[in-house]
Chains A and B, each alone.
Chain A
Amino acid sequence: MIAEAGRFLVALAFIASLAQMVLAWRGADHGGLEGWTRAGRAAAEAAVASAGLAFLLLIIAFVQSDFTIAYVAGHSHVDKPLVYKIAGAWGGHEGSMLLWCLLLAVFGLGLARVGPREPAMRSRAVSFQGLLQTLFFGFLAFASNPFDRLDPAPVQGNDLNPILQDPALVMHPPLLYVGYVGLSAAFAIAAAGLMQRSGGREVAAALRPWALGAWTSLTAGIALGAWWAYYELGWGGWWFWDPVENASFMPWLLGAALIHSAIATEKRGAFPGWTVFLALLAYVLSILGAFLVRSGVITSVHAFALDPERGVWILGMLGVSAVAGFALFATRAGSLGEGDGFAPTSREAFIGANNLLLAAAAGVVLLGTLYPLFVELLGMPMVSVGPPYFDATATPLMMAALALLPLAPFLPWANGGAKPALRQMRAALALVPVAAAGAALLWFGAPVMAVIAGALGAWVLAGAAMDAVSGIPAAKARGAKLAAAGRALAHAGVGFIALGAAADASRPPDINAAMAPGETIEIAGHRVTLREIARADGPNYLADRARVSVSGRGDLFPERRFYWGADQHTREVGLGSGIEGDVYLSIGEARPRADGSTAYEVRAAFHPLIWALGLGASLVVLGGLLALIGRLRAPVLEPRRKAGAVAPGKGAAPEPAEAGA
C-alpha cells in the first residue's frame, strides 16, 4: 500500500509538472496575472506535495524494511542503524533521483513564489522549470522508479553500500543536489528572460540569488564529498580528478563564474549574453554530470551501476534541455543588449578575465573527462585521462584566476584605473614574494606548482584581509555590509583552499607496509607502532580494530570492517590531527608471515595543513550564505553603478577561484 501509493504520487507529480509547464506557459502569455498563472503555481505546489509525500513514504518503507520494494531491498538491511535506513532513501540511484526531482519541484515552487519580480517572466520561468521537472519526473516514473516491486520478495535486504554508511555521506547528496538542481532555477530564469526578451540586467538580477544559493550548496556538497573521500575511502587523498568528481566540479566552476558575471551584468550591464549563456550551460553540465555518474559509461570509483538504458534517458533529457536553452539563446540573445564597454583595468574587466579562466578550466576538465568516451565512440583504442592531465591544464588556469582575484575588489567599475588599487594593495604585493619564499622554504623540495599555489594562497588571503578591512566599513546598508563580509570570507576561504592544496601536494610519500603487532614505522617524524588488534563489531558489521600509537598524537584506532548484509569490506581511517597536519592510518588485510605471525596491511600518510582545506571550504560556504542574505536584503534590481565608482563593499559576492593543485 505504501509502495503503490508512493508510485501513484510519483505519477501525480509527473502529471502536475506537465500541467505546471503548460498552465504557467499560458499564464505568461496572458501577462502572468490571470488564473492560468495561479493554476501553474498550484500545479507547482501539487508537484512539491506529491513528490514530498512520495519521498516520505519511501523513507517509511525504509524504516519498516519493506523488501517488497526493489529499491529498499537493494539498499537496506534490517540491522542497519536507523539513520542509515533513512539515508538509504537517497543512497542509491532511484532514491537519489526522487530527491533530485523533489528538489526540482521545490525550486519550481520557489520560482512561483519568490521568482523574478516581473509577473510574465516569473510565470515563464515556472513553466521552463515545469519542463525540466517533467523530463526528470518522467525518467523517475518510467525508467527509475524507486517504488518498483519484487515478487517474491527476499526475506532480507542487500544493505546500503557500506562506504555510504557514514555521517558525511548522509548530508553529501542532498547538499550536492540542492546545488545541481538550484542551477536549474537559474536556467529557467535565463530561458524565461530570453523568451520574454527581457534586458540582460533584469535577467542577471533575477537569477543571481538562485545561482548564489545553488553554488554555495554545491560547494558544501563537494567539500563534504572530498572530506568523505579523505577519511572514508582510505586512499589517502581528497581529490582524484575522477570523472564523477569532475562531473560536480564543472558546474561548480561555471557557477563560480556565473555568480560573478551576474554581478557585473546586474550592476553595470556588462556582458549580459555571457551571463545568460553561463546560466544555461551550468545546468546543462549538471545534467551531463548526472549522465556520467549514472550511466556507467566511464570507469570511475564512484559511479552507480552500469545501465545503458538510463544513460539513453539522461542523454535525452540533456538534449532536450540543451536544445531548448541554446536555441532560445541563439535566436534571442540580441534582446539582452550589447553590454556596456569598460576599460582593461576596470572591475568588469577583471571579473570577465576570471570568468574566462574559470570557463576555460571547466572546458579543459570537460575535454579530459569526455575524451576517453569520444575515443571509444570513434572505435579507437581505449584510453584514460588521469590526474597528470588535469594538473597540467585546469590547475594553471585556476592559478591564473587566483592571481587576479585579490585585485578585483579594489578596482573601480567601468573606466578603471589600477593605480589606486595598486596603492592599496602595496602591503599584499610585498607579502607575496615573502610568502612564496616562505612556502618554498617550508616545503623544500616541494613541486614547483605547489610552491606557486602556496604563494598564491597567501596572496589571496592577504587580499581578502585587506578587502575586509576596507570594504566592510565602507558599505553603508546592512545588506551591503553582509555582502562585503561574505565576499571577504569567501575569498579568504579560497586562499585557504589554495594553501591546503599546495601543502597536500607536497606531502611526503605514503607508506604501505605489512605490520605485525609491536612493529614500528615512521612517517613524517612520527613513530607509528601497531599495538594490538581487537574485535569491535557493530550492529551490521564485524570489525577488527587496531590500536596504533603515534608519537605526538596518542593512540589511533583505524578499523577494517566487514558488512555481512552487503558482503563488503570497508575501512575506517584513524586520524591524528594537529596544527601541522594529520597523521592518517588505515589498516587492511591480514596476511600470514613465514614465521607464523600475522601481519596487517597498514597505510600511513601525513597530510600537512589539511585543516586549511576544511576551513577554506567552510569559509567559502559561510561567505556564500552571507552574500546571499545580503543580496536578499538589497533592492531587487540595484541602481546601475556609476562609471568609475569605487565601492568595494557594495553588494558583491565571492570572486572566482579555486585551487585544485
Chain B
Amino acid sequence: MIKARRRLWIIASGAVVLALAATLAGVALRDTMVFFYSPSMVSENPPQPGQRVRVGGLVVHGSVDRPGEGGANFTVTDGRGDIRIEYAGSLPDLFREGQGIVAEGLFGEMGVFTADRVLAKHDETYMPPEVAEALRQSGLSMDDEGYGGDRIEASGNLYRGPAVPPAAEDPVG
C-alpha cells in the first residue's frame, strides 16, 4: 500500500517535471526559432523588418567594404538575388570572398540586413548546409566557384599596407 503510493508520487513528480520541460521547450522553440532565407527567397517574399532571421549565400567578389571606423559590409548572392549585409563586428578569420557564409540578424526598412553574427567555417571546403541547399535550388553549384587563387587577397590584409580589394571580376554576377 505504502509502496504503491510511493511509486505513484515518483511517477507523478517525474511526469510533472517532464511536462514542465516539454512546455518550456515548446514555448522557447516557438519564440526563438530563427528562419533561414536565401537571397532569392528574400527578393520573392521578404521577412518582416525587425524579424530575426538567418541569411546566407556566397560572398560576392569585390563587395566587401571595410569602413575605417570598424565593421564590414558585404553582399551575398545565390545567383538569383543579392543581399547587402552590414556587420559591426570583426569578420571571422575564415571569411573569404567567394565563400559561403551564414549571417544572423535583422532586415532594416531599406532592405539592408544588419547582422550581429557571421558564421564562416573552420574548414575551407565546407559549405554551410543551408547555403548549399539554397545554391542547389537556385542552380548555382559550388563547381562554378573559383576557390583557389585568392590567396593574395586573403593575405594582403595581414600586412599593414592598406589593402585595396582586387578588381577581380565577379564570377557570380
Contacts and interface: CB of A to CB of B under 8 A. Distances in A.
So, do A and B actually touch in the complex, CB under 8 Å? yes
Given A381-B35, A567-B124, A299 B70 contact: no
Contacts of A567: 124, 151, 154
A304 B17 contact: no
Interface of B: 2-3, 6-7, 9-10, 13-14, 17-18, 20-21, 24-25, 27-29, 31-36, 54, 66-71, 88-91, 93-94, 102, 104, 119, 121-130, 132-133, 151, 154-155, 157-164
Contacts of B17: 353, 356-357, 360
A591 B162 contact: yes
B68 A591 contact: yes
Nearest to A348: B10
B88 A383 contact: no
Given A298-B129, A397-B21, A590-B163, A356 B93 contact: no
Interface of A: 161, 163, 234, 296-299, 301-306, 341-344, 352-353, 356-357, 360-361, 363-364, 367-368, 371, 376, 381-386, 388-389, 392-393, 396-397, 512-514, 533, 542, 544, 560, 562, 567-571, 586, 588-594, 598-599, 601, 603
Contact of A296 (B27, B54, B126): B126
A384 B34 CA distance: 5
A592 B68 contact: yes
Contacts of A593: 68
10 contacts: A302-B122, A306-B127, A343-B6, A385-B33, A392-B27, A392-B28, A393-B25, A393-B28, A568-B94, A589-B163
Given A305-B125, A341-B2, A603 B102 contact: no
B119 to A, nearest CB: 6
8 closest Cβ pairs, A-B complex: A592-B162, A593-B68, A360-B21, A514-B70, A382-B36, A388-B32, A392-B28, A341-B6
B14 A356 contact: yes
Contacts of B164: 592
A511 to B, nearest CB: 9
Given A301-B121, A360-B18, A392-B32, A368 B159 contact: no
A598 B164 CA distance: 12
A590 B160 contact: yes
A397 B154 CA distance: 45
Nearest to B30: A389
Contacts, number: 181
Contacts of B161: 590, 598
Task: Tell me which of B13, B125, B133 has the highest count of chain A C-beta atoms within 10 A of its own C-beta.
Answer: B13
Contacts of A591: 66-68, 157, 162-163
A161 B123 contact: yes
B21 A393 contact: yes
Contact of A382 (B13, B71, B130, B158): B130
Task: Tell me which of A361, A371, A589, A594 has the highest count of chain B C-beta atoms within 10 A of its own C-beta.
Answer: A589
B93 A367 contact: no
Contacts of B10: 352
Given A297-B129, A341-B6, A590 B21 contact: no
Nearest to B134: A382
Contact of B102 (A299, A364, A392, A514): A299
Given A341-B7, A357-B17, A360-B21, 20 more contacts: A234-B90, A299-B130, A303-B122, A353-B17, A356-B18, A382-B35, A384-B104, A386-B34, A386-B104, A388-B32, A389-B29, A389-B32, A389-B33, A544-B158, A562-B158, A568-B93, A569-B158, A590-B161, A598-B162, A599-B70
A337 to B, nearest CB: 13
Nearest to A588: B90
Contacts of A367: 25, 29
Nearest to B117: A386
Contacts of B32: 385-386, 388-389, 392
A569 B89 CA distance: 17
Nearest to A388: B32
Contact of B154 (A296, A392, A569): A569
Contacts of B18: 356, 360, 363
B29 A368 contact: yes
B24 A392 contact: yes
Nearest to A567: B151
Contacts of B28: 364, 388-389, 392-393
Contact of B36 (A383, A396, A586): A383
Given A341-B2, A371-B29, A514 B158 contact: no
B54 A363 contact: no
Contacts of B29: 367-368, 371, 385, 389
Contact of A513 (B54, B70, B132): B70
Nearest to A365: B25
